Amino acid sequence: MGVWEAAKEELRRLLGFRALLSRPEKEVYRYDAILVGEEPFAVALPRTREEVQALVRLARRYGLPLVPRGAGSGLSGGSVPLGEAIVVAFTRMDRLALDPATRTAWAEPGVTTARLSEAARPFGLFYPPDPASYRTSTLGGNLGENAGGPLCFKYGVTGDYLLALEFVDAFGEAHLLERKAYDLPGLLVGAEGTLGLITGARVRLVPIPQHRATLMAAFPEVEALAEAVSRAVALGAVPARLEFLDPACVDAVEDYLAMGLPRGHALLLVETDGDDAELVQEELSLLEETAKAHGAKVRRAQDEKEAEALWRARRAVSPALGRIRPKRVNEDIAVPRSTLPEVVREIRALGEAYGLIVVQFGHIGDGNLHPNILFDPRWESEEKVWDLAHAIARVALRHGGVLSGEHGIGLMKRKFMAEAVDGETLEAFRQAKAALDPEGLLNPGKLLP
């Protein structure tokens, strides 16, 4: 029996054959939502922390890298396997325990973001981080990417809700750490599975606000929209959601839904929330007035139903874009709000120069933009597409922005990292990695260039 056969045999003994996938199921675990990796050596679906520990020890002995994986909804290739590797899919570790008295929940990594929030609802609580993928994405993946979402402008991102973390390190040791002394739990947040395997987390829940209000503002120019946002925030507005669609996006959604959106305009969607109905409306009025002062036409939702309809436009962006071209590269940059008008302009010009369709939308409150390059691989060069993606990332860096607003670095932006952070910072990252995973067993080839 060869060494690989022995490894497989051990894995089977450890997990049982139903927790160890072989072809063709294994194929599915090559992908995340943007990249395709190589066929993994094995796909393991552990059910307990002890199984995860045993897996790490086994992997160490055979020198097999481990690739942690949640739902595989990532947009930077973080959970995509490279070379002979064991994918550790956490979807079966999905125990969840709520403690309404302390407003916390203990969740295993496979619990989906939606389930966490829904389980809290009967207690008048919710879990704010809301990536658009929240129905499928897992807490482990959210922590791995420090995921955000529309609500993050007001409520903060995944890491802001983490109270304690249980993880298995590269030596197979389990740790349960509060965020005290050296904040090692915090170091694992956003580390994309390169520093430890998360097996549980205690997270904070918050009370559901009692009132919400929504408006949609249509601007003739993206620049005016960005300025209105800047101004309203400076005046003290803290909307719960602040989403932006550029004219190309608006046209795509209108083609798709025919809901009467103003073609050729840039759209701003705003939601305010709070426990006092009047204040919630007042805050929305502040946004309304600022938008109007910047030349926008404003439509204010009269009730929850109309609000829902307006938000449908935002949620329809992904499917709408899929109708224009079969493939897309979803960029994810974050820039200072003040530079938004210029950044949006430069990215539009780049798209024109490359002769590729580029649409832009995002959580504009945080300066988080998602320029999407749409293409058809049958007659448009993928190389050119990636080249453009790289050029877009450079625009962000030039304006004091960052490479990844919320989707992470993963495999996709690894190479850009060297441009984004200085040599000493990279060296500090490398030392942290070397200290926690000296043999490079955990998700090698990700994040660090």
Ligand X SMILES: Cc1cc2nc3c(=O)[nH]c(=O)nc-3n(C[C@H](O)[C@H](O)[C@H](O)COP(=O)(O)OP(=O)(O)OC[C@H]3O[C@@H](n4cnc5c(N)ncnc54)[C@H](O)[C@@H]3O)c2cc1C
Classify residue 353 as exposed, middle or buried by CB count within 10 Å of its CB (0-12, 13-18, 19+).
Answer: exposed
Q: Classify residue 366 by its DSSP letter.
A: G
**Position among 5, 25, 278, 383 found at the interface with a copy of itself (CB under 8 A):** 278
Q: Give the total residue count for the chain.
A: 449
Is the CB of residue 320 less than 8 Å from the CB of residue 255? yes
Residue 200 binding ligand X, by CB under 6 A: no
The two three-digit tokens of residue 282, written as one number: 């007042």
**Position among 38, 173, 255, 382 found at the interface with a copy of itself (CB under 8 A):** 173
Site for ligand X in 386-405 (CB under 6 A): none
Among 230-238, 302-310, 313-321, 339-347, the segment contacting a copy of itself (CB under 8 A)? 230-238
- For ligand X, give the closer residue by CB, 40 or 78: 78
Residue 434 binding a copy of itself, by CB under 8 A: yes
Residue 421 binding a copy of itself, by CB under 8 A: yes
The two three-digit tokens of residue 445, written as one number: 């080839």
Is the CB of residue 86 less than 8 Å from the CB of residue 46? no
- For a copy of itself, give the closer residue by CB, 16 or 336: 336
424 is in the binding site of which of a copy of itself, ligand X, none (Cβ under 5 to 8 A by kind)? Answer: a copy of itself
Q: How far apart are CA 404 and CA 406, in angstroms?
A: 6
Count of Cβ atoms closer than 10 Å to residue 134 Cβ: 20
β-sheet bridge partners, residue 177: 165
Q: How far apart are CA 20 and CA 12, in angstroms?
A: 7
Q: How far apart are CA 55 and CA 14, in angstroms?
A: 8
CA distances from 51 to 60, 64, 194 (A): 14, 16, 19
102 is in the binding site of which of ligand X, a copy of itself, none (Cβ under 5 to 8 A by kind)? Answer: a copy of itself
Residue 439 binding a copy of itself, by CB under 8 A: no
Give residues in contact with a copy of itself (CB under 8 A): 100-103, 124, 159-160, 169, 173-175, 177-184, 186-187, 189-191, 195, 207, 230, 233-234, 236, 238, 274-276, 278-279, 336-338, 402, 404, 409, 417, 421-422, 424-425, 428-429, 431-436, 447
Give residues in contact with ligand X (CB under 6 A): 32-33, 68-75, 78-79, 90, 109, 131-133, 137-138, 140-142, 144-145, 147-149, 192-193, 197-198, 318, 406-407, 410, 443, 446
